[in-house]
């Protein structure tokens, strides 16, 4: 799997790997990895929300700039 994949593809791959290797890595390590996985997923969701908000703000600023250009003509 390429390193640059969608978030859901990477998360699915990680979850599958953890599930397939639960007995090998032991329940304590597996639980710690599962908790880390959940934290990373939550942080990724927050970053996605921040990115979307930034994109919306950029669009608002671009619209305001266009309005100023139009008003100045």
The candidate with the shortest Cα–Cα distance to 36, out of 25, 48, 51, 23, is: 25
- Condensed to tens digits (0 to 9), the pLDDT of residues 3-60 reads 567 777 877 888 888 788 878 888 888 888 889 888 988 998 899 999 999 999 999 9
What ranges do the domains of the chain cover? 41-73
Alpha-carbon distance 34 to 17, whole Å?
11
Instruction: State the pTM of this model.
Output: 0.59
Q: Are 32 and 51 in contact (CB under 8 A)?
A: no
- Condensed to tens digits (0 to 9), the pLDDT of residues 30-45 reads 888 889 888 988 998 8
pLDDT of residue 3: 55
pLDDT of residue 4: 66
Query: What is the residue-averaged pLDDT of the chain?
Result: 85
Q: Which residues contact 15 (CB under 8 A, 6 or more apart)?
A: 37
């Amino acid at each position: 799997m390429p390193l640059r994949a969608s978030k859901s593809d990477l998360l699915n791959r990680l979850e599958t790997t953890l599930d397939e290797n639960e007995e090998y890595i032991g329940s304590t390590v597996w639980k710690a990895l599962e908790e880390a996985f959940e934290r990373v997923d939550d942080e990724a969701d927050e970053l996605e929300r921040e990115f979307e908000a930034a994109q919306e703000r950029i669009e608002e600023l671009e619209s305001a700039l266009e309005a100023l250009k139009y008003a100045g003509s």
